[in-house]
Amino acid sequence: MGSLLFLSSGLFLGWTLGANDASNVFGSAVGSRMLRFSTAALLCSVFVILGAVTAGAGASGGLGELGAVNALAGSFTTALAAAATMTWMTRAGLPASTTQAVVGAIVGWNWFSGSITDLSQLSRIVATWVLSPLLAALFAAGLYRLVVAGIRRTRPHLLRLDANLRVGLILAGVFGSYSLGANNIGNVMGVFVPASPFRELSIAGLVRLSGEEQLFLLGAIAIAVGVFTYSRRVMTTVGGSLMTLSPLAALVVVVANALVLFVFSSQQLSAFVVALGLPPIPLIPVSSSQAVIGAVLGIGLLQGARGVRQIRWGVLGRIASGWLTTPVIAALVSFVLLFVVQNVFGQQVYRPVAYQLSPPALVRLAARGVPTEALTMDREPVVGAVRFRDWLRRQARFGPEREALVLEIAEIRPLQIHPEGLRALDATALPPAYRQVVAALEGRSFLHPWQLADVLARQSPLWSLPSAAPAPAARRHQERLALVIDTFAAADPAPDHQPAAPSLPSRQQEG
């Protein structure tokens, strides 16, 4: 129940997303009276849920790399900060993007918790804020040319064209809704993934929903509620704000928007691009509002001077200024709210992560090719990634990738395989064969999570992941490992006592 209370801010964020962003996929169809609102809302809700549950994992991982909000109260506050920023900006008449609000709020959490904001990931995300409208403009311009050429060639009757446009708007809306669910569920529930309160659920042995999928389902339902309760007004007023669109242009805009969302959330497409020898597509939640604006501009610019005159540049300027202010405001709101929730309500808004360059960590680092001569071996644990990184930088200078590797290997999370944990594991959906391997380790302790992973992999091939494993298998492996680690992790070090010494490696500890 308490977990659900914490999730409420995510659901609120989902509701605002549904209320605002459904207009990006069905707004022009409803606004131009080509489609009834009830039909649009129903289709949008069903396909948002489908997209979120079946394909939401890709883009939500993108936010996880930016900052793993690791305590439920922290996730609650981060989502609340994003939702509050969105609501406030919308009420103030400023165009806001859910993606930017969420990214800003996560950066605020990183700032507050002393975690490192992955600058390369942040720059990738910021790059998509520029790239997604550009891509949408290109898609829209290309599609518009193609469709117009097709119409000129086939010369359909006005009524036939209208009927085809109607079907096209429904199909594009459905595709857009699916892509919106797949891509933007990361905004709504992404921050809750590392601190998910759900365990894998099996319904009559037929349908299996992982904790993450249950989270996404809940978030998608919140989006659907937002669509039904509040998007009508947004849908009927959308379209005319930036440029008046014909139904054909509206269709092209919706398709371009859906394509952009799809490009940034499809794991299969990214894998295909890699197979072609190109760099992978970053799987990141992108703003559908920005994509729509890019697509409208693409069509406007395609029409030359006439189109340029039709664009309301003042409105565009306001939107662009919102793109800069939203993340900054969200980060500030997030920081302040985290402070309040931690100090006024006494909630743990982040689980402090400690780091230690223990001997086994140094051995592993050396094995991975990191020069360890300059590193001091006998260090006490340091709480907080930023502090540890600062300490590390005083010892030696590494490139960003090596630095990330040192942080990953030096992270400590004392684990003890105890009978209570094994009993708790029995109640989860972890298959018995996997549980047996864990049970064989009863009584053993580990300082670093990777040590447990190594031992499990040595014990049984079930727990070892081939390097060429497909992405879904790797994800399942990570989920199972996270479940075991969460079950056997010792109490977290207190945030205000630092450096908090974790229990020293016992006699039985690995190393």
Partner 1 sequence: MSTPPLFGKTRFLEAQIDEFLDKVSEGAIYFQRGIELLLERGVVEETERKLEQLMQLKERANELRRAVVNTLYTEMLIPDFRGDVLRLLTHLYALLDATKNVFQELLIGYTGAIEGAEAVAEVKELVAVVAQSLQEAVRGARAFFRHPEAVRDHINHIRVYESEADAITLRLMKALFASDRPLERKLLARDALEVIDGLADRAEEISDELSILAIKRVL
Binding site for partner 1 (CB under 8 A): 32-34, 148, 151-152, 155-160, 162-163, 246-248
Which residue type is seen at 198?
F
Smallest separation, CB 41 to partner 1 (Å):
17
C-alpha–C-alpha distance, residues 298 and 276, integer Å = 28
Smallest separation, CB 172 to partner 1 (Å):
17
Considering the complex, state which of residue 64 and residue 156 has its C-beta at the smaller distance from partner 1.
156
Burial of 378 (0-12, 13-18, 19+ CB in 10 A): exposed
Q: Which residues are 354's β-sheet partners?
A: 383, 412
CB–CB of 358/412 below 8 Å? yes
C-alpha–C-alpha distance, residues 421 and 431, integer Å = 15
Considering the complex, state which of residue 32 and residue 113 has its C-beta at the smaller distance from partner 1.
32
Smallest separation, CB 18 to partner 1 (Å):
25
C-alpha–C-alpha distance, residues 474 and 174, integer Å = 30
Considering the complex, state which of residue 20 and residue 28 has its C-beta at the smaller distance from partner 1.
28
Smallest separation, CB 151 to partner 1 (Å):
6
Task: Give the H or E element holding residue 207.
Answer: strand 207-209
Smallest separation, CB 252 to partner 1 (Å):
11
Task: Give the H or E element holding residue 333.
Answer: helix 313-343
Considering the complex, state which of residue 36 and residue 423 has its C-beta at the smaller distance from partner 1.
36
Considering the complex, state which of residue 171 and residue 422 has its C-beta at the smaller distance from partner 1.
171
Smallest separation, CB 244 to partner 1 (Å):
11
Smallest separation, CB 141 to partner 1 (Å):
14
Considering the complex, state which of residue 119 and residue 146 has its C-beta at the smaller distance from partner 1.
146
Considering the complex, state which of residue 160 and residue 393 has its C-beta at the smaller distance from partner 1.
160
Each as own residue / partner, the long-range contacts of residues 127-130 (CB below 8 Å, 24 or more positions apart, any chain) are 127/282, 128/264, 128/282, 128/284, 128/286, 129/99, 129/100, 129/286, 129/287, 129/290, 129/323
Considering the complex, state which of residue 160 and residue 458 has its C-beta at the smaller distance from partner 1.
160
Smallest separation, CB 295 to partner 1 (Å):
17
Other CB atoms within 10 A of residue 420 CB: 9
CB–CB of 252/77 below 8 Å? no
Contacts of 385 by beta carbon, 8 Å cutoff, 6+ apart: 114, 115, 116, 353, 355, 407
Which residue type is seen at 161?
L
